[in-house]
Structure 1
């Protein structure tokens, strides 16, 4: 009887499946100075621990990873995959994200290589949706593989969304670049008006990504 009851408990309440594997790909190229990097790292932690975001992450058992990217052959999996199984999981991941040392200093901007590196990381993420959340403040200026990388993402069924970090002013060249060259057809681009706006923009972006399936 006891064995039967234990088996019934195991089969009655299966663990929720992972809905989304989300890579947070952060620009650490030469245009990002030390203060800018801290704003990104702390902004990421702030966005993840927002009550609405944290609730969605745990609800869907989201798997998170953080990539730092810069110039050619400068991409690093700075925080490996972790499933958000509880509020404590989210809080711990956010704390580590805020304290991450910067992976690279003062190099070019290889957006296409960043996308390709992120694509390769999904081999270990057993989730229904695969999403790359890339942020940056400049267009690709080395490697020039962005169009091919996006094509590979589409072929693999990976969604690319973007945060374009724009300095205050009338033009939105980085937003246009990410929208036309980087995001996949079902993806979207949001704009942070300077890095002071990064945390709130990322918070709203995460809520949009996690609220309903993309595509």
Structure 2
């Protein structure tokens, strides 16, 4: 009887029963052989710093009681994938700081393998299969090259259950039109999908911050993603 009363009280005051995960967000970091150790550190530390920026924190916590579930993995060759941060519910600043600390402390998983984008996208399907139930799902893929190993992205999309996942891209070394076009034509997918450009690894943090604000803001504020630009910086 007491338990039932407590449940009813929770429902009437709009407590945790009304809370929701608005977004399952997976971030994929390129650790292929084209990324040297200094560039890897700029990418890893840039992500950790971007997550803790004031504007990104504002996006995470714009709606008290609702949250984003976050995961991070590294990708390179066909079978070279490593989870840096397993799914964590970002319900408060402490959880976000904990996530950023784990990312900043990560050790590079691989460094001698090519760029297998199709396999990287396929791997995300297994990660999303373990994600908490959320209103939306987004994969955020960062990289500095085109697919040069294994199957192409379109085969990943036809073979793996990613129909409900929006895929956005962050192109590093955005001065190379080939890489940008590859992401625009082959990688990004879903309503409102977009590409952000970082001219080099030193610009990665700023580009990631902008990208996170856009991804989290769209998902948490319920904006019309159908009318967002398809790509650009």
TM-score between both structures, scaled by the size of structure 2: 0.85
Q: Is residue 169 of structure 2 the alignment partner of residue 166 of structure 1?
A: no
Match of 1:212 among 202, 214, 218: 218
Residue 4 (structure 1) shift = 7.8
List runs of 5+ in structure 2 lacking aligned partners.
220-224, 227-233
Superposed CA offset, 1:99-154 (max 9, x none): 11111112100011001101221112211111100000000100023111234568
- Match of residue 36 from structure 1: 39
List runs of 5+ in structure 1 lacking aligned partners.
none
Match of 2:140 among 124, 133, 138: 133
Residue 155 (structure 1) shift = 5.3
* Length, aligned pairs only: 213
Please say which of residues 125-134 and 8-17 is displaced more in the overlay. 8-17
Which runs of structure 2 are paired with 1:147-162 in the superposition (5 Å)? 147-152=154-159, 156-162=163-169
Q: Is residue 96 of structure 2 the alignment partner of residue 90 of structure 1?
A: yes
Which runs of structure 2 are paired with 1:4-23 in the superposition (5 Å)? 6-11=6-11, 12-15=13-16, 16-23=19-26
Q: Is residue 151 of structure 2 the alignment partner of residue 144 of structure 1?
A: yes
- Match of residue 53 from structure 1: 56
Runs of 4+ in 1 over 3 A off after TM superposition: 1-9, 150-155
SS at match of 1:61: strand
RMSD after superposition: 2.0
Are the counterparts in 1 of residues 67 and 89 from structure 2 also a CA contact under 8 Å? Answer: yes
Are the counterparts in 1 of residues 125 and 161 from structure 2 also a CA contact under 8 Å? Answer: no
SS at match of 1:156: coil
